[in-house]
Amino acid sequence: MSVTGYYDWREFDARVGDRTIRYASKPGLPGWDEDDHAARLLGESIEIRPGDRLIDLRCGRGVVAALAAQRGADVTALDDYILAVEATRRTLALNGVRASILSPGDQLPSGCDVAVIVIPKNREVVRQLIDTASAALKPGGRVYLAGANRSGVKSAVDDLAAVFGWVTTLAYGKGHRVATATRPASLEVGASDIFRQVEVEARGEVWRVVTGAGVFSRDHLDEGTRHLIETMSIQAGESLLDLGCGCGIVGLVGARLGNHVTCVDASADSVEATHRTLSTNGVRDAEVFWSDCASAVRDRQYDVVATNPPFHQGVGTDYDVARQFVDDAAAVLRPGGRLVLVANRFLRYERDMAGLFADVRVIYEDGRFRVLEAVKHG
C-alpha cells in the first residue's frame, strides 16, 4: 500500500507571463503534479514594485513568492500546511531568491504594501485570511485574491468587498479569477482568536475540545472518528500515536486511558487546536508535532497507531496521504503493535494492508463506516 516515492520531491516549470518559475512539489500537495492555474493567473495579474513589502498568506508551491522576490519585493510567506511551507522553501532556492518564511506562532508583519491570497475551499478560513490581510496591510495597501470557481472564489470576492469596499476583478480564465482591493484608511482591524471550545460526546462521556475553522470536522465530532474512539482498545501504559490528530480528541481519549500520547498533523491550525485541547484537559504526558504524515516521528516506535486518514486534498479526491498513513503506521509500530483505522465503507484498505500487517480484521462496521484493526508482523 506504500505510495512509491511519496517523500520524494520533484521539480516542474510554470510559465507566468514572460518568466519561467521552477517550482518544487510532491505527493500530498493538492494537485501536486498539475498546473496551478490560480497561482499562474495571480502572478500574471499582480502589480509589484521593487521594495514592496509583500505577504503571501497561502504560499502553496511558492510560485507567487518566488516571482515577487524576482521582481524585487521583500517577501514574507506562510501557510497552514507543512508541505506548502517546505515546497516554498525549495522553490525559492531553485530560483535563487530569498524570502522570510514564517513558522506557526511567528508574529505576522504589519505595514505591508501587498497581500496575496490563493483561497482554500473553506469559506470561514477565507474570511480569516481576508481579516489577516487587512491587519498586515498599511492603509492604501493592496490585496490580491485568486482561486477557482469550484473553490468558491465568487463568494470570496464578495467577502473581500464586505471588508475592503470596492473590489476589481482583474482576470479570469479556465474556471479561475483574480480580484484586488485597496485597504481603506478607515478600516478598523481587531485581533480575534480563531479557536473555540466545543463539547463532544464519545465513550459515554462529554469531552471538551478546542477547534477552529481550518480543523477537520470543526463544529462537531464526525461519525467516523466517534466509531474509532468507541471501538479502539488500548491498554494502560501503551504508547499511542494519533496520526492526523485534528482537534486532538483521539489523543485526549488515549491519554485519559493512561497512555503516553503523540499527536501529529500537517495543519498548523490542527496542531494548535490539539495543544489547546490537551492543555484544557490537563494532559501533560503528550507531544504534538507539525508533520507530513508521520515523518516527524518515523524514528520512534509505538504500541498503537489510531487514525481517520484523509482522502481529500483541496477540492479533489486524493488517496496518496491516506496510503502513506498506513505505510508510516507500519514503520513506527513495534512488532505486534496495532493499527486502528476508520474509513468510509467504499475505501477497502484491508485488501492493500495485508502485505504490511500479519492480521487485518474488521472490528466495527455499519452502513457508512468500517473500523479496521491490523497487527504488525512480529
Residue 111 C-alpha cell reads as 505595514
Q: Tell whether the model's pLDDT for residue 117 goes beyond 80.
A: yes
Across 63-67, 81-85, 209-213, least confident range: 209-213
| Range in 22-26, 29-33, 239-243 with the lowest mean pLDDT | 29-33
Which pLDDT belongs to residue 190?
64
d(CA 245, CA 239): 15
pLDDT band at 172 (very low <50, low <70, confident <90, very high): very high
What are the cell numbers at 165?
469596499
CA-CA-CA-CA dihedral for 345, 351, 355, 357, to nearest 10: 40
Which residue blocks in 243-369 are alpha helix, DSSP H? 249-256, 268-280, 320-332, 350-353
Place of cell 516554498: 88
**C-alpha closest to that of 138 among 116, 162, 113:** 113
Q: What are phi and psi of 363, to 5 degrees?
A: -105, -5
Q: What single-letter DSSP state applies at residue 16? A: E
Predicted confidence at residue 316, as pLDDT, reads 53
CA 248 to CA 280: how far, in whole Å?
11
* 264 membership: H or E segment, kind and range: strand 260-265
Residue matched to cell numbers 488515549:
254
Average pLDDT, the chain: 93
Distance, in Å, from the CA atom of 353 to the CA atom of 195, rounded to the nearest integer, reads: 36
Cβ neighbours of 283 (radius 10 Å): 17
Residue 2: predicted pLDDT: 44
Q: In 95-169, which residue ranges form alpha helices assigned H by DSSP?
A: 123-136, 153-164
Distance of CA 374 to CAs 72, 110, 336, 339, 361, Å? 54, 50, 9, 5, 6
Query: CA 61 to CA 22: how far, in whole Å?
Result: 10
Give the predicted TM-score (pTM) of the model.
0.94
Q: Domains plus CATH for the chain?
A: 10-182 (3.40.50.150), 195-376 (3.40.50.150)
C-alpha of 8 from chain center: 19
Mean pLDDT for 117-124 is: 94
Q: Looking at the predicted structure, is the pLDDT value of residue 311 above 80?
A: no
Per-position DSSP letters for 290-322, written without gaps between them: E-STTGGGTTS-EEEEEE----EETTEE--HHH
For residue 248, the 8-state DSSP code is S
* Per-residue confidence (pLDDT) for residue 1, from 0 to 100: 40
Residue 315 in this model has a pLDDT that exceeds 90:
no
pLDDT of 320? 87
Report which of residues 177 and 378 the model is more confident about. Answer: 177
